[in-house]
Amino acid sequence: MAQRIALGLLTLFVISLLIAFGVELLPGDLAQEILGQGATPEGLRVLRLQLGLDTPPHIRYLDWLGGMVTGDMGLSLANKRPIAELIGPRLSNTLFLGGFAAMIAIPIALTLGILAALYRNSLYDRGVNIFTLTSISFPEFFIAYILILFFAIKLGWFPGISNISSELSFLDKLYRTLLPAASLTLVVVAHMMRMTRASIINLLSSPYIEMAHLKGIKPLRIITRHALPNALAPIINVIAINLAYLVVGVVIVEVVFVYPGLGQLLVDSVSKRDVPVVQACSMIFASVYIFLNLSADVISIVTNPRLLYPR
Amino acid sequence: MKKTQINNKPLILDRKVSRRNFLRGSAALGIAGSTAGLLTMTGNAFAAGGKRGGRLRAGIAHGSTTDSLDPATYENNFTIQLNYGIQNHLGEVDAATGAMVPELAESWEATNGAQTWIFNLRQGVEFHNGKTMDADDVIASFQHHMGESASPARSLLDQVSSMRKDGNNRVIFELSGGNADFNFVASDYHIAIKPSKDGKIDPTDGIGTGGYVLKEFEPGVRFLAERHANFFKSDRAWFDEIEMISIIDPAARQNALATGEVDTIDRIDLKTAHLLARQSGVNLEEVTGTKHYTFPMRTDTAPFDDNNVRLALKYALKRDELVEKVLYGHGTVGNDHPIAPSNQYHASTLPQREYDPDKARFYAEKAGGVKVQLSAADAAFPGAVDAAVLYQEHATAAGIEIEVVREPNDGYWSNVWMNKPWGACYWGGRPTEDWMFTTAYQGGASWNDTFWKNDRFDELLLLGRAETNRDTRRAIYYEMQQIVSDDGGAVVPMFANYVFATTDKVGHSAMAGNWDMDGAKYFERWWFV
């Protein structure tokens, strides 16, 4: 366990190095991006001095690393605001949307998957497969626009953009984020559903399942009681990957619904070369991935007695 | 709702009227041009005076997490409009006439060959923090953009040799040379007047004299402000609250308006503008301003150092086709100089340059054949790559070979513009001829993107700047436009309209064309009907 965590931290460190190097490779710097067309040599010189861009990149990286280790994310280069303050509300928005989508998507995916395994090769199975595979094949923005067209413009049931702010009540927030959560759900359900179905069906030819059949147990009970617990490990892994996707892969959905999440902040900061913010966002995204994978491992172990009590 | 306090001696403008504000989509509205540079309004939305109340929500195409409240950093529509919501300036462009009229100044006066400028300040104007505005605040606000400052206004204020107060309500500027347009310069949008403390302003406190008091500002997301109870203009700032949301994606922006999430949006996607206009309850607005698109050639680099090449290329372009296909008709053709039809001294008598393959071929042969690369990216202006490809087609007919090089949007301004020999560019335009020419056409100017230098032009520029006689000035600026058109390095194919939209609940008077969205002052000027 300790080894896994140490490896996770090492991965984070390597990622931070790669990001710093990568952003440094992009053409232009923050001063040029801020001044844009209006840049003059004199303006650039003064701005670079004000922004502290005159120090070499490796010194800036070490400064940043030192701060990060002590829990200080530092200040945004561009607007001098503390990065923690900048990221805080965005992160909670992204987690809110991701969590909401997960709440809808995971139960649906598991139920559909289990039922598909139960009635495999039936009309129902085919129908669910076609529907979920179709929805995953469309790009997210397309699904998002289709949902907006029908539910916001034609029917007028939901707002066309998810403009949320702190003054809204929890229920209002849920209402306003339902469309983006639904788009995300449509995108992630197929993967989880297919994996549930496949890993259960995989087990159905095992001798112990055959034994259960011969004992006369009902198919639904065989699947939920005998097959599912053994199939959980791969399902949990797929769920973890999709959860991570819900947090880090929602940029496009955020843009279409004008949802003030972390992805938009990252895109903005990359285009303006605001390195500390890019670093901080990337660290958060990387941590989410590592944390979720770690949890997936742990949960698979917990659900598998053979791994829980190794000989 | 005409302003009564105007006391504008030096520059009363006698411009033509029908030149700019034409509005579409609202059938009841009509503009009747009249004499003496004033618009006469009819129709409901133009009723004299607004109605108080409501929260105006605007969806704006700009806005980035790197935005800040510091006036020296304003550069996009989000920050410029926010600025006009919470702060004021010495003067403002009058929406109806396009003239510069006093705002925080009560009046101004140029003496000594326009080398000394006296600004008399309005008295009893209150900042949001309760302080009363005085000359010290004005001086501190100007100083924020002078000296060691990264402010884009710094180069504009280089001409100020001294600034002093005369009593609490008068500021006197001494300039290094005469400038009859200094009232325009002093009202630049960057130079917001903010409260000072010990001779310094706090640039990021968000406090101004404006019609609204800042409540919330989340860069790249949202801006919220409520009405300033002691606002010094009684006939402006009608809303109780104003909210601006950054909506970068054009489809999302149009959705937001169509579903009533916002009351107004800017930067309509021109491809689908006609569809939006069909939506019930939506008014499409269109204003011709100074915004223009250019193809600047580096005149210090072969082959563009040869004027025959430049002329060949200028004759090898079908401008009307660009207006029709790239702007979808929302614009007017340009004449290879940057002065817009809405500018005071626009050379309307200068013959329009037309597509002429024979002339183009003639100049190309004189130059020994023309084979050039044109670098373009949509970062320069929307549709720049398409425009470049059309240009290529037009030029082929004249035996001129243009190879279109598609450049990445990212880093376009630092890597391509003013670096590659020939590229694409946009200019928001400037309110005065002098300002535009000084910014981008004077020899050695830092944004002279054609690296063009013409002695006669530079000489006329200085003459025109100090000239206070309007007829002499007009003659000078006409000649300058002709020189740029015939010798300059920029192909100016078109002027692009500002196209934006509101719901039919929004009322307004004649709209200004100096910026997008009613001169970026819609928070102050519009109301709910």
Q: Tell me, rounded to whole angstroms, the distance of Cα B361 from its chain centroid.
A: 36
Residue B337, C-beta contacts closer than 8 angstroms, at least 6 positions apart:
B347, B350, B481, B482, B484, B485, B488, B492
Instruction: Give the Cα separation of B275 and A27 in Å (integer).
Output: 39
Judged by CB atoms closer than 8 Å, whether chains meet at B218 and A41 is answered as no
Q: Which residue has the tokens 């009859």?
A: B180
Contacts of A27 in chain B (CB under 8 A): 410-411, 414-415
Q: Where are the alpha helices (DSSP H) in B191-306?
A: 250-258, 273-278
Secondary structure tally for chain B: helices H, strands E? 15, 25
Residues of A in contact with B279 (CB under 8 A): none
Nearest residue, CB atoms, A145 vs list B59, B251, B261: B251
For residue B45, give how far its alpha carbon lies from the nearest alpha carbon of chain A (Å). 27
Helix-strand-coil split of chain A, %, nearest 5:
80, 0, 20
Tell me which chain B residues have a C-beta less than 8 angstroms from the C-beta of A79: 65-68, 219
Percent of chain B with pLDDT strictly greater than 90: 66
Task: Give B523's contacts (C-beta < 8 A, 6+ positions apart).
Answer: B56, B58, B81, B84, B85, B211, B212, B225, B237, B239, B242
Give the pLDDT confidence score for residue B126 in this predicted structure: 95
State the DSSP H helix or E strand holding residue B59, giving kind and residue range, or none if neither.
Answer: strand B55-60
Q: At what angle do helices A275-303 and A262-272 cross, to 10 degrees?
A: 140
- CA–CA min distance A175, chain B (Å): 14
With beta carbons under 8 A apart, name residues in chain A contacting B73: 34
Q: Which helix (H) or strand (E) holds B4?
A: none
CA distance B423 to B205: 40
* Each residue's pLDDT tens digit, A113-144: 989 988 888 999 999 999 999 988 888 889 99
Q: What percent of chain B has pLDDT over 70?
A: 91
CA distance A249 to chain B (A): 18
Choose the closest CB to B417 out of A35, A37, A153: A37
Write out the two tokens for A288. 């989410």
Mean pLDDT of chain A: 85
pLDDT above 90: residue B264: yes
With CB atoms and an 8 Å threshold, state whether B68 touches A277. Answer: no
Q: Do B411 and A37 touch (CB under 8 A)?
A: no
The partner residue sitting opposite A255, judged by closest CB among B219, B248, B426, is B248
Mean pLDDT across the stretch B239-265?
A: 91
Question: How far is it, in rounded angstroms, from Cα B311 to Cα B304?
Answer: 10
Residues 6 or more apart whose CB falls under 8 angstroms from that of B268 comprise B250, B254, B276, B284, B499, B500, B501
**Cβ partners under 8 Å of residue B50, min gap 6:** B1, B235, B238, B507, B526, B527
Say yes or no to pLDDT of B46 above 60: no
Segments of B237-365 assigned E as strands: 241-246, 264-265, 282-287, 292-296, 331-333
ipTM comes to 0.76
Q: Which residues in chain B have Cβ-Cβ distances shorter than 8 Å to A47? A: 150
- Judge whether residue B143 has pLDDT over 90: yes
- pLDDT tens, residue by residue, B299-324: 999 899 999 999 999 999 999 999 99
Distance of residue B68 Cα from the nearest chain A Cα, in angstroms: 6
CB contact under 8 A, A34 and B75: yes
Does the distance separating the beta carbons of A165 and B252 come in below 8 Å? no
End-to-end Cα separation, chain B, in angstroms? 15
pLDDT at B356 over 80: yes
DSSP B72: G
Chosen from A26, A33, A37, A148 to mutate, greatest number of chain B CBs within 10 A:
A37
Nearest to B219 among A79, A148, A159 (CB): A79
Task: Grade residue B41 by pLDDT with cuts at 50, 70 and 90.
Answer: very low
Q: Peptide bond before B250: cis, by omega within 30 degrees of 0? A: no
Write out the E strands in B153-231: 160-165, 170-175, 196-197, 200-201, 212-218, 222-227
**Are the C-beta atoms of B86 and B212 separated by less than 8 Å?**
yes
Q: Is the pLDDT at A228 greater than 70, yes or no?
A: yes
| CA distance between the termini of chain A | 17
Split at pLDDT 50, 70, 90, the class of B328 is: very high
Interface of A with B in 62-91 (CB under 8 A): 76, 78-81, 86, 89
Judged by a CB distance cut-off of 8 A, whether residue A105 touches chain B is: no
What tokens does A123 get?
A: 């009309």
A193 φ, ψ to 5°? Answer: -65, -45
Q: Which CATH architecture has domain A87-308?
A: Orthogonal Bundle (1.10)
- Give me the residue spans of the domains in chain B: 292-496
Q: Do A260 and B222 touch (CB under 8 A)?
A: yes
Start-end of H helices in A160-227: 170-204, 207-215, 219-221
Angle of CA points A143, A145, A150, to nearest 5°: 95
Is B105 in contact with B182 (CB distance < 8 Å)?
no
Of B66, B204, B256, the CB nearest to A34: B66
Cα(B201)–Cα(B195) distance, integer angstroms: 6
Distance, CA of B148 to CA of B145 (rounded, Å): 8
pLDDT band at B29 (very low <50, low <70, confident <90, very high): very low
Are A268 and B221 an interchain contact pair (Cβ–Cβ within 8 Å)?
A: no
Taking domain B292-496, whether its CATH number is 3.60.150.10 is answered by no
pLDDT in tens, B83-119: 999 999 999 998 888 789 999 999 999 999 899 999 9
Task: Say how many CA atoms lie within 13 Å of A202 toward its Cβ.
Answer: 16
CA distances from residue B237 to B203, B520, B523 in whole angstroms, order as listed? 23, 13, 6
Retrieve residue B78's tokens. 């989000």
Residue spans per domain, chain A: 87-308
pLDDT number for residue B145:
93
Buried/exposed B453-474: b ≥16 CB within 10 Å, e otherwise: bbeebbebbbebbbbeeeeebb
A47, A153, A274 member nearest B150 (Cβ):
A47
- Mutation target to probe the A interface, by most A beta carbons within 10 A, among B57, B62, B64 is B64
Q: CB A27 to CB B411 under 8 A? A: yes
Residues of A in contact with B281 (CB under 8 A): none
Q: Give me the residues of A, 187-216, that contact B with CB < 8 A.
A: none
Task: Compare all CA atoms of chain A with the CA of B256 and give the residue at the minimum distance.
Answer: A160
pLDDT-derived band at B9, boundaries 50, 70, 90: very low
- Closest by CA to A143, choosing from A190, A191, A184, is A184
| Residue A188 distance to chain B (closest CA, Å) | 23
Q: How far is CA B215 from the centre of its chain?
A: 28
CA distance B172 to B164: 5
Residue B174: how many other CB atoms lie within 10 Å: 14
CA-based nearest distance B149→chain A, Å: 7
Task: Return the higher-pLDDT residue of A32 and B112.
Answer: B112
For the record, the structure tokens of B138 come out as: 């004005």
Are B221 and A40 within 8 A, CB to CB? Answer: no
Residue B507 phi, psi dihedral angles, 5° rounding = -110, 155
CA within 13 Å, CB half, B443: 11
Mutation test of the interface with chain A: which of B414, B415, B435, B442, choosing the one with the most A Cβ atoms within 10 A?
A: B414
Distances (CA, A) of A144 to A103, A266, A268: 19, 21, 21
User: SS3 of B301, please?
Assistant: coil
Residue range A156-210, pLDDT digits in tens: 888 888 888 777 888 888 898 999 999 999 989 988 999 999 988 888 888 998 8
* Residue owning tokens 């300059």: B488
Query: Is A30 in contact with A274 (CB distance < 8 Å)?
Result: yes
Q: Cβ contacts (< 8 Å) between B413 and chain A: which residues? A: 32, 36-37, 39
Going by C-alpha positions, the residue among B403, B406, B402 that lies closest to residue B378 is B406
- Of chain A residues 27-46, which have a CB less than 8 A from chain B? 27-28, 32-43, 46
Whether A40 sits inside 8 A of B446 (CB atoms) is yes
Name the one residue in this structure whose structure tokens are 């003054």.
A167
Q: Which of B6-15, B216-225, B491-500 has the highest mean pLDDT?
A: B491-500
Q: Give the B-side interface with A, CB within 8 Å.
A: 59, 64-68, 73, 75, 148-152, 154-155, 204, 218-222, 245-249, 251-252, 255-256, 258-259, 261, 410-411, 413-415, 417, 425-426, 446-447
Asked if pLDDT for residue A311 goes beyond 70, the answer is no
CB contact under 8 A, B66 and A258: no
pLDDT for position B34? 31
Q: Do B256 and A160 touch (CB under 8 A)?
A: yes
Residues of chain B with Cβ-Cβ distance to A81 below 8 Å are: 219
Report the chain B residue with the minimal C-alpha distance to residue A35.
Answer: B75
Q: Are A211 and A281 a contacting pair, CB within 8 Å?
A: no
Sign for the CA dihedral angle at A228, A233, A236, A238 comes to: negative
Q: What is the model's pLDDT at position B347?
A: 92
Interface A:B, Cβ pairs < 8 A:
129
Nearest to A160 among B66, B204, B259 (CB): B259
User: How close, in Å, is residue A57 to chain B by CA atoms?
Assistant: 19
- Residues of chain A positioned with their CB less than 8 A from the CB of B66: 34, 76, 78-79, 268-269, 272, 274
CB B159 within 8 A of CB B175: yes
Which residue did the predictor score with more confidence, B386 or A24? Answer: B386
Do residues B528 and B319 make contact, with C-beta atoms less than 8 angstroms apart? no
Q: pLDDT tens digits for B404-460?
A: 999 988 778 878 988 899 999 999 888 889 989 988 999 888 789 999 999 999 999
Dihedral sign for Cα atoms in the order A153, B218, B243, B250: negative
Closest CA–CA distance from residue A212 to any residue of chain B (Å): 55
